[in-house]
Amino acid sequence: LLLLLLLKSNISSVVVSARTYADFTPQATFDIKKCDLHKLEEGPPLQAVLSREEGLQYYRTMQTMRRMELKADQLYKQKIIRGFCHLYDGQEACAVGIEAGINLSDHLITAYRAHGYTLTRGGTVREIMAELTGRRGGIAKGKGGSMHMYTKHFYGGNGIVGAQVPLGAGVALACKYLGKNELCVCLYGDGAANQGQIFETYNMASLWKLPCIFICENNKYGMGTSVERAAASTDYYKRGDFIPGLRVDGMDVLCVREATKLAAEHCRSGKGPILMELQTYRYHGHSMSDPGVSYRTRDEIQEVRSKSDPISMLKDRMLSNNMASVEELKEIDVEVRKEIEDAAQFATTDPEPPLDDLCNHIFYNDPPMEVRGTNPWTKLKSVS
């Protein structure tokens, strides 16, 4: 009778509290897609165990990432964010799955589609959004913008296609050198995969057995060019040749996580680098100045959204296994929405950086120096 009354009173939070958490399944096992393997004896397991806590955390993080990117879209159209803005919505399972397979003490580097990774690597939505709007509370004090965000053990945020890959191997070299059992996850896209410097990096990483997980986020298009038009071989997981590789369903956070765990184990055991190709999709165009429909159909985008959305996939899994309730997930949505709104509010009201910060951060650990302004009479101050 009490339950009926509670249901009738229409207050969802009361309904939730009427169901104790003991009613939910604490963990469940899910089938995940088999990975195609290259020069690897064994792939990741075909099943993944997901706990309720993990599920809720992945859900929250992916939803936060999704809403943050959509908010960035909005702010860009209002001209509050300017310049380049490359959005990550659709690819959330990659960033979240990878982080779930490594530790925060490991290292990660990616290209310019980096907002999601800035979040998983410890950045807050507030600092990310304030960086996009170019304010002093931004993660790079407003000086970097969308493509140049950094946190501890996260080396950006890099604007030049492919350049981040040798950098990532260099981080891995330092990991091996310093002997702390850390590794580096080094990400690049399908467009970058044809860059020469990546093959140079494969060679050295392999020769020197660097603890580097190369990850190609294949979202099928390098700006406006489809993979078939850019690459003689679109088997990106095989392009490392002598480097073992695996091709992973990048829309399934569990698949990504299990593959990352395998890759991390491979690196930490001293076997050298390994290559993962994540098959994923971006809903937005290449950047905010690309509508994203001149080189692909709206039908294609819609199909991915309805059949393979990473957040929906996780949600369906959890609900159909009684790992969470609809209301509980809705509550998370509400909290996420509020977090994004608060962050956007901060990002639009925080003041711009102070003008006397203009010339700072040229050199590290150097005494203050003078910097020439736009004319010889303007001498500006620069401190480390």
Q: Interface with other proteins by CB under 8 A: which residues?
A: 82-84, 131, 134-135, 138, 140, 142-148, 158-163, 191-192, 194-196, 222-225, 229-231, 294-295, 352-353, 355, 357-359, 362, 371-378, 380, 382
Nearest to 75, CA basis, from 298, 349, 355: 349
Q: Taking the complex as a whole, how short is the minimal distance between the CB of residue 240 and other proteins, in angstroms?
A: 17
Between residues 116 and 162, which has the closer beta carbon with respect to other proteins?
Answer: 162
Strands (E), the chain: 27-31, 36-38, 47-51, 107-109, 184-189, 212-218, 221-222, 225-226, 245-249, 274-279, 369-372, 379-382
Between residues 83 and 270, which has the closer beta carbon with respect to other proteins?
Answer: 83
Handedness of CA 19, 21, 25, 30 (dihedral sign): positive
Instruction: Tell me the C-alpha distance between 274 and 324, whole Å.
Output: 35
Between residues 145 and 273, which has the closer beta carbon with respect to other proteins?
Answer: 145
Between residues 20 and 294, which has the closer beta carbon with respect to other proteins?
Answer: 294
Q: Taking the complex as a whole, how short is the minimal distance between the CB of residue 163 and other proteins, in angstroms?
A: 8
Name residues whose C-beta falls within 8 Å of residue 305's C-beta, 6 or more positions apart in sequence. 90, 283
Q: Taking the complex as a whole, how short is the minimal distance between the CB of residue 224 and other proteins, in angstroms?
A: 4
Between residues 248 and 288, which has the closer beta carbon with respect to other proteins?
Answer: 288
Name residues whose C-beta falls within 8 Å of residue 192's C-beta, 6 or more positions apart in sequence. 111, 161, 162, 165, 198, 222
Instruction: Tell me the C-alpha distance between 91 and 62, whole Å.
Output: 9
Q: Taking the complex as a whole, how short is the minimal distance between the CB of residue 87 and other proteins, in angstroms?
A: 16
Q: Taking the complex as a whole, how short is the minimal distance between the CB of residue 324 and other proteins, in angstroms?
A: 39
Q: What is the DSSP letter of 75?
A: H
Between residues 196 and 367, which has the closer beta carbon with respect to other proteins?
Answer: 196
Kindly state the tokens that stand for 144: 């970097």
Between residues 30 and 117, which has the closer beta carbon with respect to other proteins?
Answer: 117
Q: Taking the complex as a whole, how short is the minimal distance between the CB of residue 84 and other proteins, in angstroms?
A: 6
Query: Strand pairing partners for 381?
Result: 370
Q: Taking the complex as a whole, how short is the minimal distance between the CB of residue 35 and other proteins, in angstroms?
A: 26
Instruction: Tell me the C-alpha distance between 87 and 68, whole Å.
Output: 9
